[in-house]
Amino acid sequence: MRTTTFLSLIGMLVFVASCVTVRPQQRAVPADPIMPFAGDPPAAAQLRHAIDNREGSYGGGGVSGGGCGCN
Amino acid sequence: MFAAAPARAQVAVVDTAHTFYHESPTRSNMTVYTPGVDIAVTPVPWITIKGGYEADIVSGASVSVKAGPAYQAVNPGADVISTASVNDLRHSPHGAVILRKGDVTYTGQYTYGTENDYKSHSIFIAAKTEAYEHNTQFELSYARNFDLVCDRTQAVNDRAPRFRALEDSNGCFGTSNPLRTRHTLSIDGLQAAWTQAWTPEFATQLAYTAQLLEGFQSNPYRSVILAQGLKAQEHHPENRARQSVSARANLYIRPIKLAVRIGARVYRDTWDITSGTGDIEAERYLFEGLRVAARGRYYKQGGASFWSDDYTGGDPPLGPKGQYWTGDRELSPFSSIAFGLRLTYNLQPTQGRLLGLMTGFKVGAAADIIQFDYDEYTLAGTPITNARAFIFGLNASASF
């Protein structure tokens, strides 16, 4: 039930997103290097590599990369 | 600040990153140097070929025999905790191909990892598409790991409480040492992400990540005291399903020219570990090309269902927890708080090339400190109060 509600909410948000328009001439800010979600991707990857081996959790940073005996 | 440099096709990009990690909590220490280099070549707009290499150079000492306060109380005066030196070198080359067709991008990557006691083959594929005039992005990715973990050969009639820990990595791979065996570990990872630009200054991202692990997941070198005279190799379940949902938001505040990033993640797995993460980062330009960022992160997790600080007895939460046992502090309940600073300098000439070669150059440095607070993990009853990690990162990128 909760999963169905969550998925329905996501579906509604995606529908609303289809109404959004950021015109090409407005993309200077989104295209700037200051705006990626990871900030500076190489620096974010470095921090995530260290943190992932020190916590029992996982997720949100991508699934690529090989395993290691890092415990 | 947002005047764009003339558009140039980047034929090649070379990235290098170096990370230094150091921690020295009670009775142990760990230093890891991780250098890496990546090269990406785009001969034509619809294909990019990437290759890279990363290493982990590990040195330190870790807890090899874990005991708790109840056991120490029965054995006063004895040092019931043992540590062992750790020195390892992991090599990890990788290669990828990225194909573009219209608004869709396909990625395929192979990563190989090798160290004295661990081998990994990883395949990664991803598809990303943009919709609604490029304001919406959907990405689906999958990874499969085929890993091998070295272990000590156990006696045929022994069961887990009698298993002995691996002494060292000698003879793990490449030899027919009868005292060495190899266990498989299969890992399937899946991530689905939706990124949305709502206004020119505000964007969000929602991601679901799942991972299935099947195989040997214990630390083969670590033992746990289970009873008087009984020391057994760490014994984790062989199956683990992990799920997380993460959400991020980017907001550019024009009046003060500040970009703010907020993130949150909730996680749960079948070992009964649940966690919550919150992070925030603020970044702005000091002058053309130079950005400074400050970030903070808070993390809290519960312990695994089979976690106990002392399996030999004591009042709850101490005591045995069924057929599995662990000495891994990362499976215990704990919280952490991190702070960091980052500097990035990006140089893109408006005319010509840098040094006659480069169309752009970027260099960055970051420093983070993480303070861990373990709710239940102790070393024979002695809490770890100085669990602090220092992370320094340097990275540079040149485009041609």
- CATH number of the domain that B99 lies in? 2.40.160
For residues B158 and A64, the model is more confident at B158
Q: Does some domain include residue B373?
A: yes
Look at residue B10 and tell me if it is in a domain.
no
More confident residue, B97 or B289: B97
Q: Closest residue of A to B269, CA-based?
A: A57
Interatomic CA distance for residues B343 and B232, integer angstroms:
47
Among the listed residues B290, B299, B230, B239, the one whose alpha carbon sits nearest the alpha carbon of residue B264: B299
Q: Is residue B357 part of a domain?
A: yes
Chain A neighbours among B 277-306 (CB < 8 Å)? 277, 281, 283-285, 291, 293, 295, 299, 301, 304
User: Own/partner pairs for B121-125, CB < 8 Å, 24+ apart?
Assistant: B121/A66, B121/B145, B121/B146, B121/B147, B122/A64, B122/A65, B122/A66, B122/A67, B122/B146, B124/A63, B124/A64, B124/A65, B124/B96
Please enumerate in sequence order all residues whose Cβ is within 8 A of that of B172, keeping only pairs 6 or more positions apart, or say none: B116, B117, B150, B180, B182
* Range from A2-11, B36-45, B187-196 carrying the lowest mean pLDDT: A2-11
In chain B, which residues have their Cβ closer than 8 Å to the Cβ of A17?
Answer: 132, 135-136, 196, 198
CA–CA distance, A27 with B204 (Å, rounded to integer): 15
CB pairs under 8 A between A and B: 219
Please enumerate in sequence order all residues whose Cβ is within 8 A of that of A24, keeping only pairs 6 or more positions apart, or say none.
Answer: none
- CA dist B284 and B256 (Å) reads 9
Query: What is the arithmetic mean of pLDDT over B238-259?
Result: 95
Mean of pLDDT over chain B: 93
pLDDT for B353 equals 86
Confidence of residue B4 (pLDDT cuts 50, 70, 90): very low
Which residue among A39, A42, A64 sits closest to B15, beta carbon to beta carbon?
A: A42
Flag whether pLDDT at B100 surpasses 50. yes
Q: pLDDT-derived band of residue A50, with 50, 70 and 90 as boundaries?
A: confident
Radius of gyration of chain B (CA): 24
Cβ of B203 and A35 within 8 Å?
Answer: yes
A45 touches chain B (CB under 8 A): yes
- Whether the CB-CB separation of B263 and B278 falls below 8 Å is answered with yes
Range of the domain at B260: 28-399
pLDDT, tens digit (0-9, with 9 covering 90-100), for B326-344: 999 999 999 999 999 999 9
pLDDT tens digits, residue range B172-212? 998 788 999 999 999 999 999 999 999 989 999 999 999 99
Close Cβ partners of B381 (under 8 Å, ≥ 6 residues apart): B68, B69, B72, B73
Write phi, then psi, for B329 (nearest 5 degrees): -65, -20
| pLDDT at residue number A20 | 67
Three-state SS for B251? strand
Distance of CA B189 to the CA centre of its chain: 14
Cross-chain Cβ contact B242/A59 below 8 Å: yes
How far does A49 lie from chain B, in Å, by closest CA?
9
- Per-residue pLDDT, averaged over A27-53, amounts to 81
Nearest to A30 among B94, B124, B203 (CB): B203
Could you list the beta-strand ranges (E) of chain B.
12-23, 29-44, 47-66, 82-101, 104-115, 118-131, 136-152, 180-199, 202-215, 223-227, 230-233, 239-253, 258-269, 274-287, 290-301, 334-347, 360-374, 378-379, 382-383, 388-399
B137 contacts chain A (CB < 8 A): no
What are B298-318's pLDDT values in tens digits?
Answer: 999 999 999 999 999 888 889
- Minimal Cβ distance to A71: which of B211, B219, B244: B219
pTM for the full predicted model: 0.91
Interface test with A, best of B144, B184, B196 (most A CBs within 10 A): B196
Pairwise CA distance, residues B116 & B46, whole Å:
39
The total number of structural domains that make up chain B: 1
- Does B95 reach chain A within 8 Å, measured CB to CB? no
Give the mean pLDDT of B75-98: 91
Determine, for residues B295 and A10 on separate chains, whether the beta-carbon distance falls below 8 Å. no
- The C-alpha of A12 sits at a distance from chain B's nearest C-alpha, in angstroms, of 13
Closest CA to B62 of A57, A69, A71, A54: A71
Residues of A whose CB is below 8 A from B142: 63
Question: Which whole number is the average pLDDT over B135-144?
Answer: 94
Q: Give dist(CA B203, CA B263) in Å, integer.
A: 12
> Coil, strand or helix: which one is B92?
strand
Is the CB of A16 inside 8 Å of chain B's CB atoms?
no
Is the pLDDT score of B2 beyond 60?
Answer: no
**Mutation for testing the A interface, residue in B129, B213, B219, B395 having most A CBs under 10 Å:** B395
List beta partners, residue B145.
B122, B187
* DSSP 8-state code for residue A27: T
Torsional sign, CA B129, B132, B133, B136: negative
B252/A20 touch (CB, cutoff 8 Å), yes or no: no
CB proximity B248 to A under 8 Å: yes
pLDDT of residue B131: 85
CB contact under 8 A, B34 and A46: yes
Residue B179, pLDDT score: 93
Percent of chain B with pLDDT over 90: 84
State yes or no: pLDDT of B395 exceeds 50: yes
Which residue in the set B32, B135, B207 is minimally distant from A20, CB to CB? B135
Q: Measured on CA atoms in the order B165, B168, B174, B175, is the torsion positive or negative? A: negative
Of B171-175, B263-267, B322-326, least confident by mean pLDDT is B171-175
CA-CA distance, B127 to B186, in Å (whole number)?
22
More confident site: B9 or B74 = B74
What is the model's pLDDT at position B134? 83
Q: Using a CB cutoff of 8 Å and minimum separation of 24, what contacts does B175-179 make?
A: B178/B153, B179/B152, B179/B153
CB-CB under 8 Å, A20 with B132: yes
Average pLDDT over residues B244-273: 95
Q: What residues of chain B lie within 8 A of the CB of A27, using their CB? A: 200
Asked whether the predicted pLDDT for residue A13 surpasses 80, the reply is no
B319 lies in some domain: yes
